[in-house]
Structure 1
């Protein structure tokens, strides 16, 4: 009985996340890498809604990536009360040097309630940072 329950649970977990598509060698691939406990998703590419929040595939050259980043802040004082609050931010990264067939990664962190996002190459070098103050709120 326990084995059956474990198999059902495992099957339900694997069904949640579909398989990633194969990268197109004519495009640049950007992995979206959240920290544990945070949510970071691909939201828009060049102003148009992007359907899969786990990655971007972009034409070589200049592109604008919009990310949706969620993190938790501790409560206490202020308008949020004592319970932790989940904050959602929309952040934009612009980079004009995307190359076909290359892999990139986007990361975001909350440092002292100041969200930050970076675009990194496959060697971990920072290529771009979000340019404008992110649009954030408890939504």
Structure 2
């Protein structure tokens, strides 16, 4: 019985760690790269829910990427909140880019600087192609 339970648990964990698909040269591939302490995920593509938060695969042309970004704030001491636990803030940020090219790889990164989240789209040579332009929707959700 214990063996069956252990195998079931192991099988359920391997589903969470599935391998990324191979990039298709007919599409542009966008890697989502979070900082180690944060969570950054692909959320929507052109206003439609995206099913894998680790990357986007898009046809050439113009696209709108919505990202879900989580980071910790507070809990660092000082002032009235010196004994407070850190809390996680979730932000939704949008990136727009007009010229995705088939067979090219892109990269999205996000950072939190002084509780102001920022996101950038880079090409293969680390040139900034887009940054989020609208103040992100953030909250404790």
* Alignment TM-score, normalising by the size of structure 2: 0.85
Q: 1:43 maps to which residue?
A: 43
Structure 1 residues without counterparts, runs of 5 or longer: 1-9
Aligned to 1:21: 21
Deviation at 1:51, TM superposition (A): 0.1
Change in 2 beyond 3 A, CA 1:112/1:25: same
Once residues 12 and 36 of structure 1 are traced to their aligned partners in structure 2, the CA distance between those partners, rounded to angstroms, is 24
2:108 to 85, 106, 109: 106
Deviation at 1:16, TM superposition (A): 2.6
Counterpart CA distance in 2 for 1:61 and 1:78 is 50
Offset, 1:11: 8.3
Provide the alpha-carbon RMSD of the alignment: 2.1
Aligned to 1:7: none
For residues 91-102 of structure 1, what are the structure 2 equivalents within 5 Å?
91-102=93-104
Correspondence for 1:74? 74
Q: In structure 1, what is the Cα distance between the partners aligned to 2:80 and 2:44? A: 32
Measured in 2, the distance between the counterparts of 1:35 and 1:98 equals: 24
* C-alpha distance in 1 between matches for 2:133 and 2:58: 19
Per-residue deviation, 1:43: 0.2
Equivalent residues, number: 130
Kindly tell me: are residues 78 and 46 of structure 1, through their superposed partners in 2, closer, same or farther at Cα, counting changes over 3 Å?
farther
Deviations 1:60-112 (A, max 9, x none): 11000000000000136689x81101000000000001000000000000000
Give TM-score, length-normalised by structure 1: 0.86
